[in-house]
Amino acid sequence: MRDRFLRACRRQPVDRTPIWLMRQAGRYMPEYRAVRERYGFLQMVKTPEVAAEVTLQPIQAFGVDAAIIFADILPPLEGLGFQLTYEKGEGPVIHNPIRQPRDVAALHSSDPRETVAYTLTALRLVKRELNGLPLIGFSGAPFTLASYAIEGGGSKEYRLTKRLMYEQPTAWHDLMERLSQLVAEYLIAQVEAGADAVQIFDSWAGALAPADYRDFVLSHTQNVVATVRSRLGEAAPPIIYFGTDMAGLAGELRQIGADVLGVDWRIDLDVAWAQYGYEHAVQGNLDPMTLFAPRELIAARAREILQRAGGRPGHIFNLGHGILTETPVDHVRYLVEFVQSFPLPAEATALQEVMQ
């Protein structure tokens, strides 16, 4: 059953819990590091054959239930006029960040089919190699992209972002509208290139108070989901929304309209699922640091998550965030094998057979 992941996204019966891992293609893998020695990070992203090779590495190494295209959330911003580099020890740097309303007005219009055509080509290359295994495309969410564009890089306080949001709400919503259009077009283009599902990464939205998420972010995130659905119609794929530190935003997240809501490790899976509503599938939620623990503890924590899911249709096993650098490869393999061999509860198996 190569469509376990997609069936789980739609809360349909599966014979076992599907698993894939955020950042499953990355620096912890020796195969990735060998490629990285020959290319800079942006060069890897922008060379379709290399991006395709790296995307396939964890499929070949671990047999996970879905591939996610090797890319990054920030290159689409280059089409709007942002100057992006990746600095050693610093991560991404935007050299012309937004500082005032006129900077928003000066942004270019952008068609991601042209500006990130390399990722779309990589998707097509990977699709041909997967033999029916699902392929996930992704984008940064409007808020997280806006935060990078304003802060100019990583941040702990998001001070500049929140000041623009509070002090210049017209410019803020103008920026968010531009970004929501960009994100929607990018996701649609990825589906057209072969993506079977798409994930929206809102890595920084956990920094917001619920009122701020409702007033400044929610409608724009909803617009992304609604645009993808309306434009693609019956061809619209499952849409996953993921952010960290968002346990206090359950009421807002359930309004987004995503098919699947990601859960980080700061809340028990069953508690989150009850808060989000069982009309959503859920994805998660092992702490990535657990992969540094002894195998016995990895098994115990994974078992607890699976038991909390209870065999209810709609659980996709994943980490609560991406795999960390230096994670032992054997521990990743062990986790995947453990989850894939874990039996559904007898009552859940019976229920799923009835649902079929």
Buried b or exposed e, range 152-163, using 16+ CB within 10 angstroms:
bbebeebebbbe
The CA radius of gyration of the chain, in Å to the nearest whole number, is 20
Of the residues 10, 27, 113, 254, which is catalytic? Answer: 27
Tell me the C-alpha distance between 208 and 179, whole Å.
Answer: 18
Of the residues 10, 36, 124, 266, which is catalytic? Answer: 36
Tell me the C-alpha distance between 11 and 69, whole Å.
Answer: 23
Tell me the C-alpha distance between 42 and 86, whole Å.
Answer: 7
Tell me the C-alpha distance between 280 and 257, whole Å.
Answer: 9
Tell me the C-alpha distance between 42 and 92, whole Å.
Answer: 10
Of the residues 28, 32, 148, 241, which is catalytic? Answer: 148
Tell me the C-alpha distance between 76 and 73, whole Å.
Answer: 7
Find the helix or strand (DSSP H, E) in which 144 lies: helix 142-151
For 349, residues 6+ apart whose C-beta sits below 8 A from its C-beta are: 311, 343
Whether 128 sits among the annotated catalytic residues: the reply is no
For 39, residues 6+ apart whose C-beta sits below 8 A from its C-beta are: 47, 50
Whether 334 sits among the annotated catalytic residues: the reply is no
Q: Cα torsion for 288, 124, 15, 316, to the nearest 10°?
A: 30
Whether 158 sits among the annotated catalytic residues: the reply is no
Q: Is 92 helix (H, G, I), strand (E, B) or coil?
A: strand
Q: How far apart are the first and last CA of the chain?
A: 14
Whether 72 sits among the annotated catalytic residues: the reply is yes
Of the residues 72, 202, 259, 264, which is catalytic? Answer: 72
Whether 174 sits among the annotated catalytic residues: the reply is no
| Cβ atoms of 49 and 36 closer than 8 Å | no
Of the residues 4, 16, 23, 178, which is catalytic? Answer: 23
Other beta carbons within 10 Å of 99: 13
**76, two tokens:** 């689409």
Peptide bond into 318 cis (omega under 30): no
The catalytic residues are 23, 27, 36, 72, 148
